[in-house]
Structure 1
Amino acid sequence: MLMRHPAATHRVCMVTQRPPGSPVRLPLATPTDIIAAVPYLLGRHPSHCLVVLGARGAASQVRLAGRCPLPEEATAVPGLVAGLVERLARDRCDQAVLVGYGPPERVAPFAHELGEVAAASGVALREALRVDGGRYWSYLCPEPACCPPEGTRYDVVSSTIPATAVLAGLAPRGGSAVPQALVAPVAGSVRDEMERATRRAEVRRGRMCAEREGAVPVESALLAEGARAVAEAVDDARVGRLPGSCDRVAWLGVLLATVSVRDEAWARIRPPDAAAHVRLWRYVLRRVEPSYTPAPGALLAFAAWQQGDTALADAALDRVDSASPGYPMAVLLRQALQRGVSPRDWPQRGAGRAGEPPPPHGPTAGQRWAGPDWPGHRR
Structure 2
Amino acid sequence: MTPECTLKVSSPAELIAAVPFLLGFHPADSITVVAVRGPRVRFAARHDLPEPDQPGDELRTESDHVAEVVARQGVDGATVIGYGPADRVTPAVARTAEALRRQGLVVHDELRVTDGRYWSYRCTEPACCPPDGRPCPPGHSAVAAAATFAGQVALPDRAALVAQLASVTGADRAAMTAATARAQGRLADLMARELHEAGFARLVRHAGRTAVRAAERSYRSGRGLADDQVAWLGVLLIHLPVRDYAWERIGTQPWRVTMWTDVLRRVEPPYLLAPACLLSFTGCPANTASD
Q: TM-score scaled by structure 1?
A: 0.55
- The equivalent residue for 1:227 is 209
CA distance in 1, matches of 2:210, 2:96: 49
- The equivalent residue for 2:228 is 247
Does residue 1:200 correspond to 2:182, yes or no? yes
Checking the alignment, whether the CA contact within 8 Å between 1:18 and 1:366 is kept in structure 2 is no
CA distance in 2, matches of 1:213, 1:65: 44
CA distance in 2, matches of 1:164, 1:243: 38
CA distance in 2, matches of 1:298, 1:55: 22
**Number of aligned pairs?**
266
Give the 5 Å matches for 1:126-141: 128-132=110-114, 138-141=120-123
- The equivalent residue for 2:277 is 298
Q: 1:146 to 1:301 in 2, by over 3 A?
A: closer
Q: 1:112 to 1:147 in 2, by over 3 A?
A: farther
For residue 275 of structure 1, report the CA deviation from its aligned partner.
Answer: 2.7
For residue 297 of structure 1, report the CA deviation from its aligned partner.
Answer: 1.8
**Matching residue's letter, 1:223:** R
Q: Secondary structure at the match of 2:91?
A: helix
**Matching residue's letter, 2:132:** T
Q: 1:116 to 1:263 in 2, by over 3 A?
A: closer
Residue of 270, 279, 292 corresponding to 2:251: 270
Does residue 1:164 correspond to 2:145, yes or no? no
Q: Which has the larger radius of gyration?
A: 1
- The equivalent residue for 2:132 is 152
Gaps of 5+ in 2: 51-57, 149-153
Checking the alignment, whether the CA contact within 8 Å between 2:80 and 2:107 is kept in structure 1 is no
Q: Secondary structure at the match of 1:269?
A: coil
Q: What is the CA deviation profile of residues 222-244 of structure 1, one whole-angstrom value per residue up to 9, with x for unaligned ones?
A: 11222222222222222222212
CA distance in 2, matches of 1:267, 1:53: 23
**Matching residue's letter, 1:298:** C
Q: Secondary structure at the match of 2:168?
A: coil
Q: 1:155 to 1:261 in 2, by over 3 A?
A: same
Residue of 76, 94, 107 corresponding to 2:93: 107
CA distance in 1, matches of 2:162, 2:215: 24
Q: What is the CA deviation profile of residues 10-44 of structure 1, one whole-angstrom value per residue up to 9, with x for unaligned ones?
A: xxxxxxx9864697798x6xxxxx35751325514
For residue 298 of structure 1, report the CA deviation from its aligned partner.
Answer: 1.6
CA distance in 2, matches of 1:199, 1:264: 24
For residue 198 of structure 1, report the CA deviation from its aligned partner.
Answer: 1.1
- The equivalent residue for 2:45 is 68
Checking the alignment, whether the CA contact within 8 Å between 2:7 and 2:146 is kept in structure 1 is no
For residue 178 of structure 1, report the CA deviation from its aligned partner.
Answer: 2.8
**Matching residue's letter, 1:235:** R
- Aligned Cα root-mean-square deviation (Å): 4.2
Q: What is the CA deviation profile of residues 325-373 of structure 1, one whole-angstrom value per residue up to 9, with x for unaligned ones?
A: xxxxxxxxxxxxxxxxx1x5xxxxxxxxxxxxxxxxxxxx3344xxxxx
Q: Sequence identity, in percent? A: 33
**Matching residue's letter, 1:80:** A
CA distance in 2, matches of 1:243, 1:18: 25
**Matching residue's letter, 1:68:** A
Does residue 1:280 correspond to 2:259, yes or no? yes
Residue of 211, 214, 220 corresponding to 1:238: 220
CA distance in 2, matches of 1:165, 1:239: 31
Residue of 348, 355, 366 corresponding to 2:289: 366
Checking the alignment, whether the CA contact within 8 Å between 1:185 and 1:286 is kept in structure 2 is yes
- The equivalent residue for 2:67 is 80
CA distance in 1, matches of 2:76, 2:81: 16
For residue 263 of structure 1, report the CA deviation from its aligned partner.
Answer: 1.7
